[in-house]
């Protein structure tokens, strides 16, 4: 049974993406992935390891024939990672979303930082990020469009 207590990511293949905070551009890439990350209290390093491996090896970039057959690593793509607690919004009751399932900063920040570190090691290059808890403006050109949602508890 799907309970919704999972680390969630939204992956968007981009030809361009950037993050701006208070008129200051803090991240910018061309070819690669913009990844939104939502964390809950039950998440662990095991979830992070699995998702980082999946992100690095997911074959969603076009090969020479235009077929989605290349991974992020194969395509030598870059990454912007943005924390986004609203991925865990519950809209069951009323019209105002509840974010009670999203981890509070004391749990979420260490997991977010570990995700950054693990993804950099898995990918073998530095990734760019937004700023945890900041009011960010995210700009992107979704290439394809390709948008994939993955949760760490849905491995099978």
- Please provide the DSSP assignment of 24-76 as one string: EEEEEESSEEEEEEE-BTT--HHHHHHHHHHHHH---EE-TTS-EEE-TTTTT
Judge whether 118 counts as a catalytic residue: no
pLDDT for position 90: 87
Domains by residue range for the chain, with CATH: 8-151 (3.50.80.10)
| Ordered per-residue pLDDT tens for the chain, 156 residues | 344 468 999 999 999 999 999 999 999 999 999 999 999 999 999 999 999 999 999 999 999 999 999 999 999 999 999 999 989 888 888 899 988 889 999 999 999 999 999 999 999 999 999 999 999 999 999 999 999 999 887 765
Q: Could you confirm whether 2 is annotated as catalytic? A: no
pLDDT reported for residue 124: 95
Cβ neighbourhood burial of 55 (10 Å; 0-12, 13-18, 19+): buried
Catalytic (active site) residue 85 = yes
pLDDT of residue 122: 96
The sign of the dihedral angle between the CA atoms of 108, 112, 113, 117 is positive
**Cβ contact 118:127 at 8 Å:** no
Catalytic entry in 56, 85, 128, 129 = 85
pLDDT of residue 130: 95
Point out the catalytic residue in the list 12, 56, 84, 122.
84
pTM: 0.92
């Amino acid at each position: 049974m799907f309970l919704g207590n999972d680390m969630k990511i939204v992956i968007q293949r981009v030809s361009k993406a950037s993050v701006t905070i208070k008129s200051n551009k803090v991240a910018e890439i061309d070819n690669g992935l913009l990844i939104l990350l939502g964390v809950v209290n039950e998440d662990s390093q095991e979830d992070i390891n699995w998702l980082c491996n999946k992100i690095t090896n997911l074959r969603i970039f076009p090969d020479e024939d235009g077929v989605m057959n290349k991974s992020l690593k194969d395509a030598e793509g870059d990454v912007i990672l943005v924390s986004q607690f609203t991925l865990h919004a519950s809209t069951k009751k009323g019209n105002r979303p509840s974010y009670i399932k999203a981890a509070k900063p004391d749990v979420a920040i260490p997991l977010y930082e570990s995700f950054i570190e693990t993804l950099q090691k898995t990918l073998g290059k530095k990734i760019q990020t937004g700023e945890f808890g900041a009011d960010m403006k995210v700009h992107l050109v979704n290439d394809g469009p390709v948008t994939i949602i993955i949760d760490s508890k849905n491995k099978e």
